[in-house]
Amino acid sequence: MNGAHDMGGMHGMGPIDTDPNDPLFHAEWDKRAFAITLALGFHGRWNIDTSRHARENRHPADYLGSSYYEIWFKGVERLAVETGLVSAEELATGEPAAISQTPPPDPARVAAILAKGASAKLDDDVPAKFNAGTKVRVLDITTPGHTRVPRYCRGRIGTIDRDHGVYVFPDTHAHGLGKKPQHCYSVRFGGRDLWGDAAPSNDTIYVDLWDDYLEAAP
């Protein structure tokens, strides 16, 4: 989707607050929102692509007007209801109508769950469409669904820098349409190929892109 989250190349966002001592959390509630998001995710009702889409698929004013963990919180609220972990009425009243029959993981296992992670890399034997060094053009994709093609590189020509291997494809995975295993590459773009001749000639931008986003350059 062409949402407010896709910020690369937008103007007017102002200077960066570079304070190296800025705390990771600014209030008790954002710590709790962060932890709730991870802990509820342990139930496996959604994947990382679903959760990104739940955060991004909202009015641009809502996205830009919300702090970071506020967006996370709104995302997890939505996912909890959409997947039936919580009913809309329970969310509205705060009163539990039913107790979960699937207990959450033992708190003693949290560290092990985090250390294990969940790689999106797959063992599927899928041929790569492109080799390192090949020139490719990014398809000019416009979809209302989830995608990881930033707008700033759509339609632009770059070069395959390296093949990362076979990965879950987010555009289908976010919508319950399967993992669609395919190669994901680091694609190298010249700064001038993205931003025009005013850009320095020796800026390069690397974007990780999947086979389904690319075609051979004409």
Partner 1 sequence: MGGHDHSHGHNHSHGHGHPHAAPASPLAERVKSLEALLVAKKLVDPDSLNALIDTYEHKVGPRNGAKVVARAWSDPAYKERLLRDATTAIAEFGFTGRQGEDMVVVENTPAIHNMVVCTLCSCYPWPVLGLPPVWYKSAPYRSRAVMDPRGVLREFGTVLGDEVEVRVWDSTAELRYLVLPERPAGTEGFSEEQLAELVTRDSMIGVTRAKTPESVP
Rg value, the chain, Cα: 20
Our finding on whether 67 is near partner 1 (CB under 8 A) is yes
Q: Is residue 20 involved in binding partner 1 (CB under 8 A)?
A: yes
Q: What tokens appear for 29 in the block?
A: 């509630």
- Nearest C-alpha neighbor of 182 from the set 192, 172, 193: 172
Q: Which is nearer to partner 1, 68 or 218 (CB)?
A: 68
Tell the smallest beta-carbon distance from residue 129 to partner 1 (Å): 16
For residue 26, the minimal CB distance to partner 1 (Å) is: 5
Q: How far is CA 38 from CA 51, 87, 88, 104, 115, in A?
A: 11, 19, 21, 12, 13
Task: Determine the interface stretch with partner 1 among 111-119, 130-138, 174-182 (rule: CB under 8 A).
Answer: 111-119
10 binds partner 1 (CB under 8 A): yes
Q: Does 17 bind partner 1 (CB under 8 A)?
A: yes
Binding-site member from 2, 35, 145, 155 for partner 1 (CB under 8 A): 35
218: tokens are 């004409």
206 contacts partner 1 (rule: CB under 8 A): yes
The span of 125-133, 134-142, 146-154, 174-182 binding partner 1 (CB under 8 A) equals 146-154
Q: Work out the end-to-end distance of the chain between its first and last CA atoms, rounded to an integer number of angstroms.
A: 26
Q: Quick one: CA dihedral 26, 28, 34, 37, positive or negative?
A: negative
CB of 142 to partner 1, least distance (A): 16
